[in-house]
Chains A and B, each alone.
Chain A
Amino acid sequence: MAKTVTFTDPTGESAPVKLEIFDVPSDLADHDQRAGKIPEPDPHYVDLGMLFRLALVEKVRREKVTDTPLHLALRGHMGTGKDHDLEQFAALLRLPYYRIPLTGEVRDITLIGSVKLHGDGKGGTESRWEDGDITRALRGPALINLSELNAAGAETLFALHGLLDRYQSIDLPTGETVRLRPDTRLFGTLNPTDLRDYAGTQTLNKAFADRWVIWEKGFPTDEQITAMLQRRYPTMAEPYIKVISRLAVEVNESFTATDARTRVGTPMSLRTVLDRIPAGLWVYEHAEDPLRRSWESFVIDHVDPFDRDHYETVWSAVARKGPSEKPFGK
């Protein structure tokens, strides 16, 4: 009997979803390498409901939507945890995880592949096709995360069109057709077009966007950040967790403000909250006010100068002074 994994709804509203996990066939040419790309479950990961929602969609596509493509893209500001969600989903389903950024500089040859010249060992050369990132990933079971969809250049979009629609394949210049396997999943992530130019230019190309189901991912709430900090830093003192969560929520609320005059240009990403500030707390563990010191050198220094007053006003309103106890080791 195939192994299964169960996804539970953190809100407790819906019944758990049970899914068979994927298998990397042992006859694949790149079996070992591919199997090595199955991510490990992150013990610090807090499911805010995203995994469960992804599992629901996976279930539907296995049972009902078997031959139409259903690709999901997560849209959220930087550091809201989009990539992490997809990676953890792959971990639980035991799917090799390929994260392929589509930034403007990426050429179609990098993604699809190209003909390379090789020495034939007899002083001459022979030309051989070499797979690009996407083609390589498509050759076996995989969860492919095409990140930064909206940064993709026209060349890249063009290369991907066929793969994403009903054709579900890429035609290589060699004449070969690489099909989307039933055990391969395509996902994407993208940043919301900057609030400042919503009316403007760099929105996702319409034809391209039409090939995706797009889900919004907002900034985490107070309670969610608290849960992540508690999971990741079990010894962090409660007052620190409380203030850090509040700071993040307030700054991010200012980041999403509609009025340009009351807005900050830099959000407080999960990386700031989960990595940098705690690192600062370790560094300044013995300082008089560890949180303030961490804030100064691990947050404020990253912020654009014109945002500093705003950040500092949020600091004063929410914290003013850091907690008086030691940050760790309760």
Chain B
Amino acid sequence: MRSREEALLSEILPPEDRVIEAVVARYQRVAPAVTRFARSLASNDDLRIRLGSQASAEPGEIVMDPGVFQAAYARSAPVTPSEVALASALHEVVHMVATDLDEHRALPEEWFPDAGEPLPEDPVSLLDALDKAGGPAAEAMFFSIEDARQESQNFDLYPGARSVLADLYLASIPGAMGRARPMGQFALACFLAVGGYQDVDTLQQRSEVHVSMALEEARDLIDDAREASDGWETAGVALQLLAVARLHGLLTEASPDESKTRREDREKADQNEINTGVDSLRLMSPIVQDADSYDQTRKAMQAAESLQGRPDDAQTGGDPATEQILRVSEAPDVHLPTGQGGKLLVTPLPSRFSNYADRGFEALETAARRWEVGERHISGELYPLFVANQRRGLQSGFDAGDLSPHAALFLGAGLYQRMFERRSLPTRRAYSISLLVDGSASMLQPRPLPGGVKAPWAMAAATLGAWTLARLCDELQVEFEVALFNRAFAARHDDTEQTYVQRAHRTKGALRRSQGSAADRLTRTVNHYVLKSFDNRWETAKDELAGLFWTAAHPADAAVEARRNPASAPPVSMFEKAANVDELNVQHAAERLGRRPATVRMLVVLADGMTRGSVDALAATVDGAEHGGITVLGIGIGDDTVTNAYSRHQVVERPDELTRAMIHGVRSALRRSIALTGGDTWWAHVSQIENTITRSA
């Protein structure tokens, strides 16, 4: 990770390394360790840590805004980007874990030396108490000192990360000290001294004479702050530091007959001086920046929860551009055998499609009849093949059993429970089939049908094929997966037409503003919608697939419906007209398939036309999958690109051809597997099969 040659931030980091995606990518490399550190620091093994556009902290979860990290890369200091990735994340974690100002206490008497009458005894929050005692300047001083205290106490265990922070800060001292006004200088010096980044002597040399004298007097207080055990104690020290500053004339003098507004202005000005001084140097962490930012960080979570009911969906009403960038950055990287690769957004299909399930079931029946796809007889025909082959698998398992000559003895002694042991039990799960359906808008466009008419049949036929094969697999107890792929603005699982369109609109606008020409790449992503995963039951996916079929068979009706009831309709606008990147999807599906404990793996891709990537890359991907033991079948719908990319391919021009092509493909895979395992039964012979098929068709 850390190549010794990695550039330092003191040389200028190229812009592409500063974009937020690069920041997130770098964060992801350190995330596992940082999360573990955070859990140790918080003594909470279940603490969740994630990125979001709105920083927030509550006992069980920390959300970090990568924009905060990004700011660190803009500095000039002798540190490398990977060091910054770690230090900025750990910095954020430390403050998020350590900051808790919620404890209420009665106003401490020593904070009010001039109080004539007894103080109220009701417990108040720290920030309220501080405001009463010292106003805005006290708040600013407190947050600076508290920030430094937390760093000096919590980075103990991580001196490496701490030294990165120190380098970042030290590089900024001359500029920050030079720019700051006296009170700002004093606050900044206190921050650096409490944090242990620089000693008082050195700081005095850089400060104006009044500031230097104030620092001299503040030495003990600085030590106290470093040792303080909580926020209340730090606040007490902050007030005393302000008193020292006042004594040395660093704070604006109050006139004896000052009006309320005047006083407020004066206090604001002092606060401003402190903040500007300290902020020009420290790494910003929203939770210890100021009172507003603290409140926002603490409350963002509750607000999100009450608005959405679910905090974990990254829909926290944050900035849409950042949310989208995070979504893209956090998506898995898919690597092709050609060395190329890209991000693939893998999500479940929006569940709203199941709204159309009933119409879908009906339409499926009609279509099956019209396109002559008898579901029953297909499974009826394949059933004996599967059962026979599976039984064989079972028996060979017994053959391979490892029988010890002491077996009888062991059984008697209770050491063995069974006579035969097998390492894995690949019986029912011996087959894995994955189905990838092209979900680009062109699949929804009218195409010629026999008889000269035109209808939007491609996606419909593909969905019908998926449906047929899914039922088949379910019946034969073959595990399977169905996914839809396209390239468009990615929908979320809970999207309606309305939320989808609105988010797409806001995100595109925001990204165009913040990212310029990169906006298109970030909004038009390569998406992989999982309709049914290997681990889900078919029952749970049925409705969505049926609903999707209806949408595909009646795209115009679906569009009307979506316009009429956008708040409840599925996001039909997600089918954008943009060319796909088939190879990323094929690669991803092949990898998932490769991890299944199966002996026969098959991937069927139903595609329409060109891939936006390259046909060569697609061919290499298919080839790689085949070499990995996966039978890949490419079915081109009205387009012969598949012939160049898939060694097993078929081009179909009519809906009824499609389903038959799929079934045929699965059947030959089965035959191949039987041939490979050396089985020889009557039904494995081609001619017999062909006969059976022709007869039943």
Contact = CB atoms under 8 A, between A and B. Distances in A.
A312 B4 CA distance: 12
Interface in B1-57: 1-2, 29-30, 32-37, 39-40, 45
Interface string B122-158: 0000000000000000000000000000000000011
Given A161-B413, A253-B40, A319-B160, A313 B35 contact: no
Nearest to B406: A155
A315 interface: yes
A263 B36 CA distance: 8
A207 interface: yes
Interface string A41-85: 000000000000000000000000000000000000000000000
A167 interface: no
Nearest to B164: A320
A314 interface: yes
A253 B158 CA distance: 14
B73 to A, nearest CB: 16
A312 B414 CA distance: 48
A207 B163 CA distance: 54
A228 B322 CA distance: 50
Contact of A207 (B32, B90, B161, B414): B414
Interface string A295-330: 000000000000011101111111111000000000
A157 B404 CA distance: 14
Given A158-B410, A158-B415, A317 B1 contact: no
A261 interface: yes
A107 B414 CA distance: 19
A309 B26 CA distance: 11
Given A312-B2, A317-B90, A154 B410 contact: yes
Contact of B161 (A254, A257, A261, A317): A317
A34 interface: no
Given A310-B32, A316-B86, A207 B415 contact: yes
B14 to A, nearest CB: 22
Nearest to B155: A317
B463 interface: no
B36 A254 contact: yes
B86 to A, nearest CB: 5
B37 A317 contact: yes
A202 interface: no
Contacts of B159: 318-320
B83 interface: yes
A317 B1 CA distance: 14
A320 B32 contact: no
Q: Chain A: interface residue count, which band?
A: 20 to 34
Contact of A258 (B34, B45, B414): B45
B416 interface: yes
A313 B163 CA distance: 14
A309 to B, nearest CB: 5
A262 B32 contact: yes
A152 to B, nearest CB: 11
Contacts of B35: 259, 261-262
Nearest to B37: A317
A309 B3 CA distance: 12
B82 interface: yes
Nearest to B28: A309
Contacts of A316: 2, 30, 82-83, 86, 160-161, 164
B30 A313 contact: yes
B416 to A, nearest CB: 7
A262 B44 CA distance: 13
A207 B413 CA distance: 10
A205 interface: yes
B161 A320 contact: yes
A94 interface: no
B415 A154 contact: yes
Interface string B391-409: 0000000000000101001
A185 interface: no
Contacts of B160: 315-321
A278 to B, nearest CB: 20
Interface in B176-230: none
A261 B416 CA distance: 36
A262 B404 CA distance: 41
B45 A313 contact: no
A259 B32 CA distance: 10
Given A257-B36, A318-B158, A320-B160, A205 B30 contact: no
Contacts of A258: 45
A318 B164 CA distance: 11
A154 B414 contact: no
A309 B32 contact: yes
A313 B29 contact: yes
A274 B183 CA distance: 52
A134 to B, nearest CB: 17
Nearest to B82: A316
Contacts of A312: 1-2, 82
Interface in A220-254: 246, 250, 253-254
A110 to B, nearest CB: 15
A129 to B, nearest CB: 19
Nearest to B38: A262
B309 to A, nearest CB: 26
Nearest to A157: B415
Given A262-B33, A308-B1, A313-B34, A257 B86 contact: no
A318 B37 CA distance: 11
B332 to A, nearest CB: 14
Given A154-B404, A262-B32, A309 B1 contact: yes
Contacts of B83: 316, 320
A222 to B, nearest CB: 10
A308 B161 CA distance: 18
B542 to A, nearest CB: 32
Contacts of B1: 308-309, 312-313
Nearest to A289: B4
Contacts of A161: 413
Given A154-B415, A157-B415, A317 B32 contact: no
A29 to B, nearest CB: 31
Query: A-B pairs with the 8 shortest C-beta distances?
Result: A320-B160, A313-B33, A262-B36, A317-B158, A317-B161, A312-B1, A313-B30, A262-B35
Interface of A: 154-155, 157-158, 161, 205, 207, 246, 250, 253-254, 257-259, 261-263, 308-310, 312-321
15 contacts: A158-B406, A158-B413, A161-B413, A254-B33, A259-B39, A263-B32, A308-B1, A309-B1, A309-B32, A309-B33, A312-B1, A313-B1, A315-B160, A316-B86, A317-B86
Given A309-B1, A312-B1, A313-B30, 7 more contacts: A158-B409, A254-B36, A258-B45, A308-B1, A313-B32, A316-B164, A320-B160
